[in-house]
Structure 1
Amino acid sequence: MDTSVYTLLIVESPTIAGIIQKMCPPSVYVISTDGFCWRPRYDVHEHQIKAIADPDKLPIRNELKEQAKIAGTIVIAVDSDASGDFIAWSVNRFIQSSNIKRGQLQSLSKKSIYTMLSETTELDEAHLEARLKNQFLIQKLWSKYAEIPDMQLAGLISILGANTHFHSFLDENHSLYRSNKPVQSHFDEWINLRPAQNHDQFRVQKPLSTFDVLEFIQSEKLSPTFHDGQLLLNQLFQTVLPFSEESLISYPRTSAQAFYSDTWAHMRQQYLNIGSVNHLKPTYLQEIADNEDPHESIHPIDLSIEPDSVAGELPKNIGKLYRWIYNQTLESLSMPKLLEKSLISDLNPDVIFYPDSDNIFNSIQSIYPCLTLSELGIKMNELGIAKSSKFGKTVDEWISKGWIHLNNRTVTPGKKVVKYLDEANSLHKKLLEVNRLKENRTLKPETVKEIITS
């Protein structure tokens, strides 16, 4: 990054804008859009999208226009979900400059901010517009022609009723078990187990997604609602230590359960400063994220900032959350632990089942498949329906509508979902197909309608 060139950096959150401004060189000026400065309006007949100015945001738009006139470079750093795409697209249309780039913020550390400013990408307005229009088109046609007009409800039915692969299971006492390989099954299918003989099996901890963190916050009752839980996670992200000015965690809205290769290399060096090379997870077990993915898993920025060392500087629940993220990340970097207890099924002899907690000592005879909240979030994200950026609020809505029920960490369908479970496999197929169409730059309404009504 050329620090002599005046750069306009555009973010969504006023709080994040204030934090970043303190860490940037004097040549960078940060403006927050404070959400939408324009509201989207989609015409399904013309397959066109418009940006309608919010009258309350006129001062922000005026400042954007004035600063853009004198900026050598303009960087838009917002989420890569539908809301972030619309903000980037509408700002680009409004400013109409050839100097606009897009940046991906990975953390609020000074190093990460400088990296973002130096590794920007071209903002492809045509691609953004096509993707936004396709998303609106699919939603409009789904609500008009689908048997289950609400796409989120359809998604829940398709996941909670389909014959699918499971990694999580419950016993008669509602204790949670995991499997080392996916198991094809129905929700109501019991699996008989017996102790495994001569099996040296390990518990592998993956890096954390937003869905994993929200599941933990709920199970530990760190917040009254899932929306509040997501706000708590965002508070931790925005926390900057007063003396060192170091942030604590990476970007908090992500569906990834993997780290970039560069992050593995960086964290390996940090790990070796506090642990042994013999305890580090071997390369062949490391979960590697694609560098094209907008965000990697949530993790501490600096492993030398141990939870005990900052406990006095953090509110109780934020400190507890940081401690858990820190410890889970260490496990995801470390050699998997040998299982104290493992079981097998005669129907799936190559699959190992094991208790999620070492505290479970029951002599279990059988288990049945289930979905944890995190697994539900990941599956809904794969369908393009529920994004990590708003998952907390979305889960609260599902619960209030009675679409799902939660028993600690696991999800069961509500009455309205149960009513349509026979349609689950058909719905799942349709939702997968329409989700694949979102990147199609020449998408036609007839194509979408044909899938929905088939």
Structure 2
Amino acid sequence: MKSLVIVESPSKSKTIEKYLGKDFEVVSSKGHIRDLATRGKGGLGVDVDNDFDPTYVISKDKKDVVKELKKKAEKVDAVYLATDPDREGEAISWHLADELGLDLNSKNRVVFNEITKEAVLNAFNQPRTIDMDLVKSQETRRILDRIIGFKLSKLLQSKIKSKSAGRVQSVALKLIVDREKEILAFIPEEYWTVEGIFMNQGIEIVTKADKYKGKKLEMKNEADAQKVLDNTTGPFDISKLIRKDRKKQPKMPFITSTLQQEASTRLNFNSKKTMRVAQKLYEGVDLGGETQGLITYMRTDSTRLSHVFVDAVKPYIQETFGKEYVGAYRSGKKNDNAQDAHEAIRPTSIHHTPESVKQYLSNDEYKLYRFIYYRTLASLMSSAVYDSISVTFTQNDYDFNGTGQTLKFDGYLKVYDYENSTDKLIGDLDETKQYSADKIIPEQHFTQPPARYTEARLIKELEELGIGRPSTYAMIMDTIVKRAYVTFEAQSETSRTKVFKPTDQGSLTNDKLQDHFSSIINPNYTSNMESDLDKIAEGDENNIHTLRSFVDKFYPLLDEANEKMEKIEAEKVGELCPECGGELVYRNGRYGKFIACSNYPECKYIRPLAGKERPKPEETGEMCPECGSPLVKRKSRFGTFFVGCSAYPKCKYIQPKEKKESKKESSDEQES
């Protein structure tokens, strides 16, 4: 019997075909094959009045793909659907089954969490039917996003010239705008601290004035601080000295959000890059003739590890580091919004050490794989143990507290070098003796406004609020920047840390949405909607009821906004368009303000503001080895420089920085 297997990604197909053998042909759908139509009432592709009946059309760029899949399906005895192991993958399988005329009662859905021979063969030994509850959940999400996106975007475009709105992106924008308002409204308050420095056996012990007569000490001005200085001029007694072992547990394995957060902080990868590199590690790497996925599926919100993997890692830790380094398995606290559909992001084999596969990976792939590998390994190792000391020096009822620690047992820190572990010595102290302060230093401070969101902070906030899903975070960040609602730039001239800051158009968009749709565009409503989608996936909620409840709330708000939202005309430049004679107006774009024709999209004339012209790329004096055009030095969106062809996008040549850099990564950087 000849069987056809359909996966999403072309890069997976050859690897999986090798595992399955000659009786299987593995082909790719190249992602989604169809989407909601843009016809019908309101161009939604959804009949709102008839139980939200959707109309799907094959995407233009997938017509040849579907035609070829149909031909192949007719020639085989069985068709298996092996799309990604999440709701979106389940929906893609259903779309494929529907277009190919497959029996939905047939066990033709195959799910695996890692692309290894053992995992793939096990999955094909236990196929199942398509889970229609998962499909309904994903379909409901898509319909919700279509209704909100189309209706709100049309409203905003006509009223305030904003480009789009969305169920989740608009809540992310609200968080950024609200934070900016907090910063602007912030009034700094003065406070003081007093630091006491004691010398002990040549060791400097730094302490801080913490309490007076057992109560928390507050110093709001210089006079308060001076009072502490005036009353602590003599020797101090040790009123408290506690020495104990302090354990530091390893962090849990990565889930999608924590991987994106930590990769941003530790590796300086943005979320889009993190997911792109992780996708490559998941889909498979050629390890000297054998292609294998190095990590499990990277879209997950579960910290769970399979017992098979845990049972393989424990003896590895014992043999490599010693019995005392083996830790207890912790499943972690389950998030209320977590789907727990599959495992945490982990290496597929603990024996594929980063060092052993480094030669097969690009620099970025190696960095991310090493991060994932040692985070997982560390999570199954024993805690680090510190010899912790806390001391309180007291005089005239003023307590100065200091702490110290020395690493007693490294535990998981043996392998996880992404955390700083520094000894802070105090030395041996005698509770019967008095100690004089070498220095007592008052210092003035001012309270600081809340920090703007970095990408890592925003992802963490969205996750904690239950907004969005692991697969959506990178897209949310990308969308709000592309729509010119926010900028993503260094927080200061001396800092490399990038933060989100709303543009004028972003603030206007948020304000108008909150004026008219605050009951829907808010964290609580969006989080509750995610919970409803989860219930649909579990078969505990009716999808039509969820959609009807939303529309009954949303449509009256939309009607009112159409009537009452003020229409803001674009600011006129005072010149006529040289191409069509229409009025020139100021517009906001991804790179700031520019001048455009008011007759857009009929007339596409644009020009930069005076003094805002983008500098021409600097020629290097070399010629492109692929097309012969001059090579130029360009700046990427990450602020780094690279040399590429001046004929881009016709020629996408980039001069490699190092031999390991993959061609795909190079073209991605040019496109940015």
Does TM-score exceed 0.5, indicating one fold?
Answer: yes
Counterparts in 2 of 1:11 and 1:87: CA distance versus 1, 3 Å: same
- Greater displacement, 405-414 / 211-220: 405-414
Tell me how far 1:34 sits from its aligned partner.
Answer: 1.2
The DSSP-based 3-state class of the residue aligned with 2:26 is strand
Report the Cα distance in structure 2 between the residues aligned to 1:65 and 1:429, rounded to whole angstroms: 44
Report the Cα distance in structure 1 between the residues aligned to 2:387 and 2:421, rounded to whole angstroms: 7
Mapped contact 1:300–1:325 kept (Cα < 8 A): yes
Q: Find 1:257's aligned residue among 279, 294, 303.
A: 303
- Greater displacement, 85-94 / 136-145: 136-145
Report the Cα distance in structure 2 between the residues aligned to 1:103 and 1:342, rounded to whole angstroms: 55
Q: Structure 2-normalised TM-score? A: 0.51
Report the Cα distance in structure 2 between the residues aligned to 1:342 and 1:8, rounded to whole angstroms: 65
Q: State the partner residue of 1:96.
A: 101
Tell me how far 1:83 sits from its aligned partner.
Answer: 4.2
Mapped contact 1:206–1:257 kept (Cα < 8 A): yes
Report the Cα distance in structure 2 between the residues aligned to 1:302 and 1:412, rounded to whole angstroms: 38
Report the Cα distance in structure 2 between the residues aligned to 1:6 and 1:202, rounded to whole angstroms: 55
The DSSP-based 3-state class of the residue aligned with 1:248 is coil
Mapped contact 1:434–1:448 kept (Cα < 8 A): no
Q: Find 2:362's aligned residue among 311, 315, 322.
A: 315
Tell me how far 1:322 sits from its aligned partner.
Answer: 1.9
Alignment of 1:66-215 (within 5 A): 66-81=71-86, 83-98=88-103, 99-125=106-132, 127-143=133-149, 144=151, 149-156=165-172, 198=244, 200-215=246-261
Report the Cα distance in structure 2 between the residues aligned to 1:275 and 1:50, rounded to whole angstroms: 59
Residues 401-440 of structure 1 show CA distances to partners (whole Å, capped at 9, x for unaligned) of: 3177776779666464797699699822211222233213
1:43 aligns with 2:46: yes
Mapped contact 1:73–1:100 kept (Cα < 8 A): no
Mapped contact 1:258–1:289 kept (Cα < 8 A): no
Report the Cα distance in structure 2 between the residues aligned to 1:91 and 1:63, rounded to whole angstroms: 12
The DSSP-based 3-state class of the residue aligned with 2:108 is strand
The DSSP-based 3-state class of the residue aligned with 2:286 is coil
Tell me how far 1:332 sits from its aligned partner.
Answer: 1.1
Alignment of 1:425-440 (within 5 A): 427-438=522-533, 439=536, 440=541
Amino acid at match of 1:428: P
Tell me how far 1:117 sits from its aligned partner.
Answer: 1.6
Alignment of 1:289-304 (within 5 A): 293-304=340-351
The DSSP-based 3-state class of the residue aligned with 1:74 is strand
Q: Which residues of structure 1 form unaligned runs of 5+? A: 163-171, 173-191, 344-354
The DSSP-based 3-state class of the residue aligned with 1:121 is coil
Report the Cα distance in structure 2 between the residues aligned to 1:379 and 1:398, rounded to whole angstroms: 16
Amino acid at match of 1:139: D
Mapped contact 2:243–2:387 kept (Cα < 8 A): no
Counterparts in 2 of 1:295 and 1:31: CA distance versus 1, 3 Å: same
Q: Find 2:13's aligned residue among 11, 17, 31.
A: 17
**Higher-helix-fraction structure:** 1
Report the Cα distance in structure 2 between the residues aligned to 1:246 and 1:129, rounded to whole angstroms: 29
Q: State the partner residue of 2:374.
A: 327
Q: CA RMSD in A?
A: 4.4
Report the Cα distance in structure 2 between the residues aligned to 1:273 and 1:7, rounded to whole angstroms: 43
Report the Cα distance in structure 1 between the residues aligned to 2:552 and 2:488, rounded to whole angstroms: 30
Q: State the partner residue of 1:349.
A: none
How many correspondences in the alignment?
406
- Greater displacement, 17-26 / 259-268: 259-268
Report the Cα distance in structure 2 between the residues aligned to 1:317 and 1:427, rounded to whole angstroms: 36
Report the Cα distance in structure 2 between the residues aligned to 1:389 and 1:231, rounded to whole angstroms: 12
Mapped contact 1:8–1:73 kept (Cα < 8 A): yes
Q: Find 2:459's aligned residue among 377, 380, 398.
A: 377
Q: Structure 1-normalised TM-score? A: 0.72
Report the Cα distance in structure 2 between the residues aligned to 1:93 and 1:52, rounded to whole angstroms: 12
Alignment of 1:358-437 (within 5 A): 358=421, 373-374=455-456, 376-377=458-459, 380=462, 386-400=468-482, 401-402=485-486, 414=502, 416=506, 427-437=522-532
Report the Cα distance in structure 1 between the residues aligned to 2:152 and 2:548, rounded to whole angstroms: 12
Amino acid at match of 1:122: T
Amino acid at match of 2:119: S
Counterparts in 2 of 1:107 and 1:128: CA distance versus 1, 3 Å: closer
Report the Cα distance in structure 2 between the residues aligned to 1:417 and 1:360, rounded to whole angstroms: 46
Amino acid at match of 1:395: M
Report the Cα distance in structure 2 between the residues aligned to 1:70 and 1:55, rounded to whole angstroms: 25
Tell me how far 1:255 sits from its aligned partner.
Answer: 2.9
Mapped contact 2:285–2:360 kept (Cα < 8 A): no
Counterparts in 2 of 1:240 and 1:211: CA distance versus 1, 3 Å: farther
1:441 aligns with 2:542: yes
Tell me how far 1:333 sits from its aligned partner.
Answer: 1.3
1:230 aligns with 2:275: yes
Mapped contact 1:203–1:337 kept (Cα < 8 A): yes
Counterparts in 2 of 1:51 and 1:269: CA distance versus 1, 3 Å: farther
Residues 33-76 of structure 1 show CA distances to partners (whole Å, capped at 9, x for unaligned) of: 01232233331423122321235434432332233345444322
Report the Cα distance in structure 2 between the residues aligned to 1:75 and 1:378, rounded to whole angstroms: 37
Counterparts in 2 of 1:244 and 1:17: CA distance versus 1, 3 Å: closer
Counterparts in 2 of 1:378 and 1:116: CA distance versus 1, 3 Å: farther
Q: State the partner residue of 2:393.
A: none
Report the Cα distance in structure 2 between the residues aligned to 1:102 and 1:288, rounded to whole angstroms: 30
Mapped contact 1:211–1:373 kept (Cα < 8 A): no
